[in-house]
Amino acid sequence: MAAVAEAYGTPCYVYSRAIIESNYRTYSAAFGHRRHRICYAVKANGNLALLDVLARLGCAFDIVSVGELERVRAAAGNVRTVTFAGVGKTRVELEQALAAEIFCFNVESIEELELLGEAATALGVDAPIALRVNPDVDANTHPYIATGLYENKFGIPIGDAMDIYRRAVALSGLRVAGVACHIGSQLTSIEPIVDAAERVMRLVDALNREDIVIDHIDIGGGLGIAYGDAAPPAIDVYIKAICRIIDPQYEIVVEPGRSVVGEAGALLMRVQYLKKTPLKTFAICDAAMTDLIRPALYQAYHDILPVTAGGEEQRVDVVGPVCETGDFLGRGRDLAVASGDLLAIMDCGAYGFVMASNYNARPRPPEVLVDGRDIHLIRERETLAQLYAGEYRLVSE
């Protein structure tokens, strides 16, 4: 990490190829002989190098925008393995995904279903679809990332799904291919997932009774990782639990993001000042909420470890330079730290860089991938000029 800081400066995102590959292989091995498709959720971290590493292992992809479709194309070439989720797909996005001949559209509303049928008919093709059903299951996660309750905007209420499948069969331009479901992210227990999978299987049985035949069941992503003392189930325990519920005739699709790349990344930063106030000591770092928004947005906990240990251990709030009291990275941490020290925020491989912003006119950090003894720059640090490229001064008086 010190060598990375030397070469590329701080703040900087650092990823491990070995951890990403190992997580992917654990997923793949857990399925054994079961027919399956692992669609990595590009939203978790869409860097081309990471997508490339995964594509080489045979990984498929889950996207939520045409931007992510183009990332997959640029990194992996093959976009035919893609599943496309999201509540607000535009007509242009649907058309581009149709032209790309993706694997499946996970449809989230009746209006989207009709628009997709219309767009596909106009292009003279059949769109492969799964209804993303909302099973009304409490995923026991942060309310901002729970998606499987009827109060959430996601999916089609499972109680309405039969009717909408009948409608899908009747509409032109659509081919019913599967059922999809995703109940939330950073799930730390198996029960809600099992519960959702059972509800989905009951829907599939009902579809079968009406001769509406599907080929795959997409159970979404969402498996959590061990931030701090969170104790999510292991990947293979989770996959085996799903395999027990889904009938073997169906291809099982999963859409993991965080559990593939989360633990594989750290945000490397340097302590700028140690500031003592009557109540607290602040370790003011060169990374901020603009680089990692999870603590500010979800009160998320990330371990912060010393890279170069400096002063004596003391209790500090680890914060950034941004002009917001919400700009904290970790509060009340016992760290041996002095100005100039390097620190690493752990478990930043997922929803780190992808949620970074330019607030306070801060360029986004570079990303590097460590591969054995090699360190590859996989994204350059943004420059100040890039921040206002595309802006115009007023030309009139």
Q: Which stretch binds ligand LLP (CB under 6 A): 23-31, 159-167, 215-223, 267-275?
A: 215-223
Tell me which of 76, 351, 356, 366 binds ligand LLP, using CB under 6 A.
351
- Say if CB 330 and CB 348 are below 8 A apart: no
90 vs 386, beta carbon nearer ligand LLP: 90
Q: Which residues pair with 179 in a beta bridge?
A: 131, 217
Q: Which residues pair with 317 in a beta bridge?
A: 282
Q: Count the residues in the chain.
A: 397
Q: Applying CB under 6 A, does 330 fall inside the site for ligand LLP? A: no
127 vs 254, beta carbon nearer ligand LLP: 254
CB of 83 to ligand LLP, least distance (A): 8
Q: Applying CB under 6 A, does 155 fall inside the site for ligand LLP? A: no
Residues in region 12-41 near ligand LLP by CB under 6 A: 41
174 vs 253, beta carbon nearer ligand LLP: 253
Tell me if residue 104 is catalytic: no
H/E stretch holding 265:
strand 265-276
Cβ count within 10 A of residue 396: 3
Please report the beta strands in 78-173, taking only residues with DSSP state E, as ranges in sequence order: 83-84, 104-107, 127-134, 156-157
CA 24 to chain centre: 14
Tell me which of 19, 110, 145, 377 binds ligand LLP, using CB under 6 A.
145
Q: For residue 397, which amino acid is it?
A: E
Q: Which stretch binds ligand LLP (CB under 6 A): 165-173, 194-202, 218-226, 307-315?
A: 218-226
Q: Which stretch binds ligand LLP (CB under 6 A): 20-28, 254-262, 358-366, 382-390?
A: 254-262
Cα Rg of the chain, angstroms: 23
Q: What is d(CA 389, CA 380) in angstroms, rounded to the nearest whole number?
A: 16
H/E stretch holding 343:
strand 342-345
CB of 100 to ligand LLP, least distance (A): 18
Eight-class DSSP state of 353: G
Tell me which of 36, 71, 89, 258 binds ligand LLP, using CB under 6 A.
258
Q: Which stretch binds ligand LLP (CB under 6 A): 11-19, 160-168, 257-265, 266-274?
A: 257-265
Q: What is d(CA 273, CA 339) in angstroms, rounded to the nearest whole number?
A: 5
Residues near ligand LLP (CB under 6 A): 41, 43-44, 62, 85, 145, 182, 185-186, 220-223, 255-259, 294, 298, 350-351
Residues known to be catalytic: 323
